[in-house]
A and B are shown apart, each in its own frame.
Chain A
Amino acid sequence: MLIRRRAEIASSEITDEQVYLNRRQFIRGAAGAAVGVATGGFALGGGGVALAEGQDAIPNVTPGPFGTDETQNSFDDVTSYNNYYEFGLDKRDPSRNAHTLTTEPWTIKVDGEVAKPAGYHLEDLLEGVTLEERVYRLRCVEAWSMVVPWVGFPLSTLINRFEPTGGARFVEFTTVMRPSEMPGVRRPVLDWPYVEGLRMDEAMHPLTILVVGLYGKTLLNQNGAPIRLMMPWKYGFKSAKSIVRMRFTREQPRTAWNKSAPQEYGFYANVNPTVNHPRWSQASERRIGRFFRQDTSMFNGYGDQVASLYDGMDLRRFY
């Protein structure tokens, strides 16, 4: 696979190291009580944001590539405005309901076209992995967006360990489904469990990461703890949360939203301002926390990195 790395990261987008270190220090110092300060307005928000009793600062996070220096959304925004239908349909439901999910122990079943299929313990998978901070834009298919400082590592690191066979053309990701801990799955809003998928070259792309934290701390359940995907050039629903299975396949996986409404949600779901959702325009978006809409960029601004993956494809057809 050829990955063009032109303009991978503008020097203006690299966070000054001193600023970065200061933030690290701040985050460490802020663990616990000071979180309330960092998240401002939380007390008035009254949203019952489950603020991380025992949520740990992640040690040894190194700055990762592809970062943006755009203003980051607050910890409060990122953890209280979520689409995670397994915990309810309202944006605030996940922050209210997701605390019931048990994320320890956590096992990911790896099967299909791989040389090393097994049930892997999460801590074993994370052993020896270098965690990076990746400040990515996140564009939801509902035409809102955020900037989030994720903590994670390239998905390719794990995939290489599993040794996919020549027959592996796609990877399918399955989100945990536990009716006793996830009130939303008791109703057939989607065909549970939530399933998403990527083509192998998309999965191996250096922008594609598995996320275990944000803002330097371990992930909260409403954001997909303990481990989730993030592909910043695709609409948010592609980035499956709380992953329990990775299946390597020959056939294109049948994904949850695509099954639910194929004319509205394609398999690729690349951010594309020229292909509108049947019910709303994708030409612009509202960055959470700002009043005026802004224009949406092709591939959410990551075209230099990923456009070549889709050379020769009609993106109106493969939306």
Chain B
Amino acid sequence: MSTGSLKRIVFVVCAWPTVWLVGRGLVGALGANPIEEITHDTGIWTLRLLLATLAIAPLGYLTTWHRLMPARRMVGLFAFFYGCLHFTTYVVLDWFFDVEAIVEDVVERPYITAGFTAFVLLIPLAVTSTRAMVRRVGRRRWQLLHRLVYASATAGAAHFIWQAKADLRRPGLYAGVLAILLAIRLWRRYGPARSAHSRA
């Protein structure tokens, strides 16, 4: 399969949740509280695609299957896209621009603070995602900047855990996957087996 076809498949997979959500909305299948449903759906897809972005490189060096690397930027941008939908849903549908209430939320409630942080940290990454920007920022600094994705994903996982009422299994699962993805990186960087190939 060519890189082009693979990217097209990844595009369709990433866009599908939006199509599905809009479709359910159009036929009135979002349940009694559609705003809550949209909020949960866009939020979970943001986190899923962030984790997917973070899984592509480890998949490469653990299995030597690097074919997804060219699609990584797109997956990351889709994560940002769902983050934007999630944030917009919160600001427009949930609070309808009630700035006072939103500021109170962000300042006083840790899970909102975490979610807001996760979103804000993604903005510079999305802005610098083009090739021209990579050149402009400089490869080395660009890579440093893009380590913010670890902070964003961590804040996102915390956001998911702290909003849970009683059952932490699902948020725990996401946090666990993130922990593994981060641990693989740390191991590769600082683990006993570090050698020439791991410096890349």
A residues near B (Cβ < 8 Å) are 41, 44-47, 73, 76-77, 80-81, 85, 89, 91-92, 144, 187, 189-190, 260-261, 276, 278-281, 283-284, 286, 288-289, 291-293
- B111 at interface, CB cutoff 8 A: yes
Residue of B nearest to A92 (CB): B31
A81 touches B32 (CB 8 A): yes
Given A281-B101, A288-B33, A293-B96, answer yes or no on A260-B166 (Cβ-Cβ < 8 Å): yes
* Known A-B contacts A89-B167, A189-B167; A289 and B32 likewise in contact (beta carbons under 8 Å): yes
- Cα–Cα distance between A144 and B94 once the two chains are bound (Å): 11
Q: Whole-angstrom distance between the alpha carbons of A3 and B179 in the complex? A: 57
Query: Contact check: which of A44, A189, A288 meets B32 at CB < 8 Å?
Result: A288
- Chain A CB count within 10 A is highest, among B28, B98, B169, for B28
Instruction: Report how far A45 CA is from B32 CA in the complex, Å.
Output: 9
B163 at the interface (CB under 8 A from A): yes
Q: Which of B29, B33, B105 contacts A44 (CB 8 A)?
A: B29
Chain A residues near B29: list those with CB within 8 A. 44-46
A296 to chain B, nearest CB (A): 12
How many chain B residues touch A (Cβ–Cβ < 8 Å)? 24
12 further A-B contacts with Cβ under 8 Å, apart from A91-B32, A292-B96, are A44-B28, A44-B29, A47-B31, A80-B31, A81-B31, A81-B33, A85-B166, A91-B31, A187-B167, A279-B163, A281-B101, A293-B95
- Chain A residues, Cβ within 8 Å of B166: 85, 89, 189-190, 260-261
Please determine whether B109 and A280 come into contact, CB atoms closer than 8 angstroms: yes
Give the residues from 152 to 196 in chain B that come closer than 8 angstroms, CB to CB, to chain A.
Answer: 162-163, 166-167, 169
Q: Across the interface, do A144 and B33 meet the contact criterion of CB distance under 8 Å?
A: yes
Query: In whole angstroms, what is the CA distance A187 to B27 when docked?
Result: 34
**Is B137 located at the chain interface by the 8 A CB criterion?**
no
Give, as a whole number of angstroms, the nearest-CB distance from B36 to chain A: 8
Q: Please report B residues at the A interface, Cβ cutoff 8 Å.
A: 27-29, 31-33, 35-36, 93, 95-96, 98, 101, 104-105, 108-111, 162-163, 166-167, 169
Closest 7 CB pairs of A and B: A81-B32, A77-B32, A189-B166, A44-B27, A189-B167, A41-B28, A288-B32
- Across the interface, which residues of B come within 8 angstroms of A276, CB to CB? 108
Does the CB pair A284–B101 fall under 8 Å?
yes
Chain B residues near A187 (CB-CB < 8 A): 167, 169
Given A187-B167, A260-B166, A288-B33, check contact A45 B101 (CB 8 Å). no
Q: How far is the CB of B6 from chain A (nearest CB, A)?
A: 33
Q: How far is the CA of A284 from the CA of B105 in the complex (A)?
A: 13
On whether the beta carbons of A76 and B167 are closer than 8 Å, the reply is: no
Contacts of A288 in B (CB 8 A): 32-33
Give, as a whole number of angstroms, the nearest-CB distance from B35 to chain A.
Answer: 7
Q: Which residues of B contact A293 (CB under 8 A)?
A: 95-96, 98
Distance in angstroms from A73 CB to nearest chain B CB is 8
User: In the assembly, what is the distance between CA of A89 and CA of B95, in Å?
Assistant: 25
Q: Which residues does chain A contribute within 8 Å of B109, judged by CB atoms?
A: 278-280
User: Distance (Å) between the CB of A74 and the closest chain B CB?
Assistant: 8
Residue in chain A with minimal CB distance to B109: A279
Cα A182 to Cα B105 with chains together (Å):
36
CB neighbours (8 Å) of A92 from chain B are 31
Complex contact B33–A45 (CB within 8 A): no
Are B167's CB and A91's CB within 8 A?
Answer: no
Cα A56 to Cα B146 in complex, Å, equals 62
11 residue pairs bridging A and B, Cβ less than 8 Å apart? A44-B28, A80-B32, A81-B32, A91-B32, A187-B167, A189-B167, A279-B110, A281-B101, A286-B33, A289-B32, A291-B96
Would you give the shortest CB distance from A215 to chain B, in whole angstroms?
Answer: 15
Give A260 to B95 CA distance when docked, in angstroms. 29
Cα A279 to Cα B160 in complex, Å, equals 12
Residues of A within 8 A of B169 (CB): 187
Q: Is the CB of A279 within 8 A of B28?
A: no
B108 → A minimal CB distance (Å): 8
Q: In the docked arrangement, what's the CA distance between A81 and B30, Å?
A: 11
Chain A positions within 8 Å of B98 at CB level: 293
| A180–B29 CA distance with the chains assembled, in angstroms | 30
* Known contacts A89-B167, A190-B166, A279-B111; A76/B32 CB under 8 A: yes
For B105, give the chain A residue with the smallest CB separation. Answer: A281
Q: What separation, in Å, do the CA atoms of A283 and B100 have in the docked complex?
A: 12
Instruction: Give the complex CA separation of A281 and B111 in angstroms.
Output: 13
- Please, how many angstroms separate the alpha-carbon atoms of A251 and B101 in the complex? 39
| Residues in B whose Cβ lies below 8 Å from that of A281 | 101, 104-105
Q: How far is the CA of A133 from the CA of B30 in the complex (A)?
A: 30
